[in-house]
Every structure is written in structure tokens, then in C-alpha cells.
Amino acid sequence: MFDSHILFFPVADLSRSYQFYHHILGLKLVLDQGGIQIYQVAPGAFVGLCQHEQGPLAPDDRLILTLVTHEVDPWYERLATGGVSVDAPPRENPRYQIYHFFARDPDGYRVEIQRFLHPFP
């Protein structure tokens, strides 16, 4: 079982998106990491907006389903040994203070399994 989930997607203008998601939709901004903002949609459910500045994305890289758990390593073993395509073993990302890895679902969408290395709602 997972503790929460975050759906990340790229945006062209993070400040414009902030106006929409925070001021118009009323979502609470729970984490601002500069180029990434995470908003709470419901208990355990979050949406992450990523400032995108490099040309168009391939269709299968536009969305990332992020599943948050303390059990990143066991999930990696389960997926890697189960024939799921994974990018690399779990690793720490100092910029965003997370421990994570990426996998691909059967349709090629990215699924990220991660743990925050700092307090997160």
C-alpha cells in the first residue's frame, strides 16, 4: 500500500499555473521547490507542476504518476524482477531531496516510486 500519490505534469508558466491552481481552484500549495510546485487535492492526493523550458515533450513523457512510499527499495526489486522496464536503481536526488526511481507502465507512461527525504504532508 502507498501513503499518497502525486501526478506531475509540465507547465509553460509556473506563476500563471499558481494563479489558477491556488487562487482559482483553491488548492493548497504544500511544497515549492522553485521549478516544481506541489498542491494538495485531497488527503494523500497531490498534483505537481513542473516548469518546462525545453521544447515539446514526447507524448509518453508529459505525465508522471508518482507513488510515495517509504518502501522504495522493495518496490524496485518487485518491479525489476517482475519484468517491468525500470530506468536505474533507486537513487537520491539532492536538488529535490527525494529517493526514487522511474519505471514504465505497459503503455509507456512513466511511474515514479519515491520517498521524500524531508517532511511532507
CA dihedral (15, 16, 22, 25) in degrees, to 10, reads: -170
Catalogue all structural domains in the chain, each as residue range(s) with its CATH number.
Answer: 1-48 (3.10.180.10)
* pLDDT tier at 1, thresholds 50, 70, 90: confident
* pLDDT tier at 33, thresholds 50, 70, 90: very high
pTM of this prediction?
0.76
Q: Give the residues across from 90 on adjacent strands.
A: none
Q: What φ, ψ does residue 71 adopt, rounded to 5°?
A: -100, 50
Contact 48, 61 (CB under 8 A): no
* pLDDT tier at 121, thresholds 50, 70, 90: confident
User: pLDDT at position 106, please?
Assistant: 77
